[in-house]
Amino acid sequence: MTATRKTAPRRTVLHLGLALGLALAGSAAWAAYPERPIKLIVPYPPGGATDVIGRILAIKLGEALGQQVLVDNRGGAGGNIGAEAAAKATPDGYTLLMGALTSHSTMATLEKGKLRYSITKDFAPIMIVGSVPLVVVVNPALPVKTLQELVAYGKANPDKLNYASSGAGAPQRMAAEILRREAGIKMVHVPYKGSGPAMTDLVGGQVNLMVETVPAALQFIKAGKLRALAVTMPQRISMLPDVPTTGEAGLPAIEVSSTFGVLAPAGTPADIVALLNSTLAKILATADAKEQLLTQGVYALPPTTPAAAADRLAAEVARWAKLITEANIKSDD
């Protein structure tokens, strides 16, 4: 009995010492992060908005963290191939996703049952970093100069309007569906494999209108090849200061932008997520980063905490799930 009483405290001390040693070792490991290059997966081919944002942030993050941040383009399946690869990566902070959150959110419903990852369950959002505004544009041959005139034309000519989109699940298509529902007009959807061919046919007059990202449409608007009717933002934007908002035109529900954020695989240590969050916040507060993003048509957003970023992502998924369900939108429409 005496020997047992003497041994138990020693074992307790040993166990406590071991636990403390492991905790200190873990803290030291996270404190040293990053010790090697970080991979930022962009789930689209080079050249698009997600890629441009990712490359700007990769350079800035690399400079701030003292390690290279390498962009890894994994295009295909509407962003799902790259997103799945990031979701299944080791959650150690060395693989991140440059997410097109609006597109991923629509895919969560459109491809439900087909996806092998969950955008809300398999990721730890780090920060919402920016948004790209959309604009309602028409071919100049269409006899309308304002959004109100477009609605009036659609009601007077129920079988004449069609609209292009860069894909069934794209934010551009979702915005057009909101326009159709809110205005109470009929429009036939003409999906394309990307904004490029859709814009080509819109300029050529094969389709009447489109809701497109401002950067993609801006050159055609300035050249007079497309007419801008309204931007889908709560306030007018610096790139098109003379174009009214959809709210000014009487359709405030059409408030849509393509939102982007940086995410880590679920299970990534909270210390690493916090470090990346604070680093991105400092980067996005600089005039240089804001200017570089705005040059590409991206508005840097105010810093968000990881918790706020997760809430924003969940809200995006819920918003588009409601629209897709109510409008009976299919991925192959």
Q: Domain segments of the chain: what residues?
A: 31-132+258-327, 133-231
Q: What is the mean pLDDT of residues 132-158?
A: 96
Q: What is the CATH number of domain 133-231?
A: 3.40.190.10
Note the pLDDT tens digit of each residue in 274-318.
Answer: 999 999 999 999 999 999 999 888 999 999 999 999 999 999 999
Q: Tell me the pLDDT band of 3, cut-offs 50, 70 and 90.
A: very low
Q: Tell me the pLDDT band of 150, cut-offs 50, 70 and 90.
A: very high
Does the pLDDT at position 89 exceed 90? yes
pLDDT at 11: 47
pLDDT at 175: 92
Q: What is the mean pLDDT of residues 217-232?
A: 95
Question: For 230, phi and psi rounded to 5 degrees?
Answer: -170, 150
pLDDT at 209: 97
Q: Tell me the pLDDT band of 270, cut-offs 50, 70 and 90.
A: very high
Asked if 70 contacts 15 with a C-beta cutoff of 8 angstroms, the reply is no
Q: Tell me the pLDDT band of 333, cut-offs 50, 70 and 90.
A: low
pLDDT at 297: 86
pLDDT at 82: 95
pLDDT at 31: 62
Q: What is the CATH number of domain 31-132+258-327?
A: 3.40.190.150
As a whole number of angstroms, the distance between CA 184 and CA 154 comes to 9
Q: Tell me the pLDDT band of 332, cut-offs 50, 70 and 90.
A: low
pLDDT at 23: 45
The reply to whether 133-231 shares the fold of 31-132+258-327 is yes
3-state secondary structure the chain: CHHHHHHHHHHHHHHHHHHHHHHHHHHHHHHCCCCCCEEEEECCCCCCHHHHHHHHHHHHHHHHHCCCEEEEECCCHHHHHHHHHHHCCCCCCCEEEEEEHHHHHHHHHHCCCCCCCCCCCCEEEEEEEEEEEEEEEECCCCCCCCHHHHHHHHHHCCCCCEEEECCCCCHHHHHHHHHHHHHCCCCEEEECCCHHHHHHHHHHCCCCEEEEEHHHHHHHHHCCCCEEEEECCCCCCCCCCCCCECCCCCCCCCCCEEEEEEEEECCCCHHHHHHHHHHHHHHHCCHHHHHHHHHCCCEECCCCCHHHHHHHHHHHHHHHHHHHHHHCCCCCC
Does the pLDDT at position 7 exceed 60? no
Lowest mean pLDDT among 150-159, 161-170, 198-207: 161-170
Q: What is the mean pLDDT of residues 171-197?
A: 89
pLDDT at 134: 94
Give 76's contacts (C-beta < 8 A, 6+ positions apart).
Answer: 82
Q: What is the mean pLDDT of residues 12-20?
A: 47
Q: What is the mean pLDDT of residues 120-144?
A: 96
Segment of 120-124, 211-215, 297-301 carrying the highest mean pLDDT:
120-124
Between 10 and 175, name the one with better pLDDT.
175
